[in-house]
Amino acid sequence: MKLDAQTIADLATHLEDAELKAHDVTKITDAHPHMDWDDAYAIQDEIRRRKEGRGQRTAGLKAGLTSFAKMKQMGVETPVFGFVSDYMARPDGGEIKTSELIHPKVEAEICIVTKAALRGPGCHVGAVLAAVDFVVPAVEIIDSRYRDFKFDLKSVVADNTSASRFVVGSRMRAIDGLDLRTLGVVLEKNGEIVAMAAGAAVLGNPLTAVAMLANHLGARGQEIPAGTFVMTGGVTEAISVQAGDSVNVRFQDLGSVSMRFV
């Protein structure tokens, strides 16, 4: 750790304020170029503690920057991990208010819910397969608090990996009989196809992202508890949206997830 406790607390307030008041800020590594990974996750943990202290439940965990398209879009090479809170959830087919957001983008994500705890190190796709209760589709709405979505990895980790809103589909499926690698995803904005991919775009298999999350938490003495909703990361590049846009994502075997931005 390179930052002291006060600086971590101040940066958590700074970034969470930007989220809650929907205004952008410059990336924090500009003022704190020496901050390290532990500092970045400590800031994110402090943001989570504040939300939970206010009674906002943590609704799930997320992996981000896990697809080759996302890594290329953001110019980075390492996945990152964050969380989503209950107040960020919106219903399938519902409206999302852009006045509460800075510069939202949508991502199509293959998600799982666990039925057994997963703990690294040494967690692998086989262990994840055994621990999956069911698979669900979701759309994540990311909204980096950083000006023009320009950041480096430590800044984005501190900013809870741009987590902002999420919409979970209503069709769940058992994992047996599904091949997540060949599962097709088609993202439509205002009725036009704007991106498409198969699950293998995420690290070869979206379950690899879950194993990496378990290994990341294991290194810090934590685990993915049973019953956890885990988002494995956008399969395509993220697509900018604004008020008036409708988004519909078709997931092979898992139905569609849609929303309207107002």
> Could you tell me how many residues of this chain bind ligand OOG (CB under 6 A)?
16
Residue with tokens 């666990």: 114
Task: Specify the residue, 12 or 153, whose C-beta has the smaller distance to ligand OOG.
Answer: 153
Residue 167 binds ligand OOG (CB under 6 A): no
Burial 187-203 (b: 16+ CB within 10 A, else e): bbbeeeeebbbbbbbbb
Contacts of range 77-80, beta carbons closer than 8 Å, 24 or more positions apart: 78/153, 79/203, 79/209, 79/212, 79/233, 80/153, 80/156, 80/157, 80/161
144 is an interface residue for ligand OOG by CB under 6 A? yes
Angstrom distance (rounded) from CA 175 to CA 183? 12
Applying CB under 6 A, does 142 fall inside the site for ligand OOG? yes
19 contacts Mg ion (rule: CB under 5 A): no
From CA 117, how far away is CA 226, in angstroms rounded?
4
Phi, psi of 226 (to 5 degrees): -60, 145
Q: Is 140 in the site for Mg ion (CB under 5 A)?
A: yes
How near is the Cβ of 6 to ligand OOG at its closest, in Å?
27
**Residue number, 46 or 107, with CB nearest to ligand OOG:** 107
Provide, rounded to whole angstroms, the least separation between the CB of residue 90 and ligand OOG. 16
For the chain, list the strands marked E by DSSP: 58-64, 80-85, 89-90, 95-96, 105-114, 132-142, 163-168, 184-189, 192-198, 229-234, 239-240, 246-251, 255-261
Choice from 40, 43, 74, 157 touching ligand OOG (CB under 6 A): 74
Task: Pick from 85, 114, 162, 248 the residue near ligand OOG by CB under 6 A.
Answer: 162
Report in angstroms how near the CB of residue 11 gets to Mg ion at its nearest.
22
Piece in contact with Mg ion (CB under 5 A), picked from 99-107, 128-136, 144-152, 181-189: 99-107
Q: Give the DSSP letter of residue 12.
A: H
CB closer to Mg ion out of 3 and 238:
238
For Mg ion (CB under 5 A), the number of binding residues is: 4
HSE-up of residue 209 (Cα within 13 Å, Cβ side)? 33
Return the residues of window 31-70 that contact ligand OOG according to CB under 6 A. Answer: 62, 64-66, 70
Kindly state whether residue 245 participates in binding Mg ion, applying the rule CB under 5 A: no
143 contributes a contact to Mg ion by CB under 5 A = no
* CA atoms of 86 and 172, how far apart (whole Å): 19
Residue 210 binds which entry of ligand OOG, Mg ion, none, with Cβ cut-offs from 5 to 8 Å by kind?
none
144 binds, among Mg ion, ligand OOG, none (CB under 5 to 8 A by kind): ligand OOG
| Helices of type H across the chain | 5-21, 37-53, 68-74, 125-131, 153-158, 206-218
Candidate residues 64, 104, 120, 206; the one interacting with Mg ion per rule CB under 5 A: 64
233 interacts with ligand OOG by CB under 6 A: yes
Q: Which residues bind Mg ion (CB under 5 A)?
A: 64, 107, 140, 234
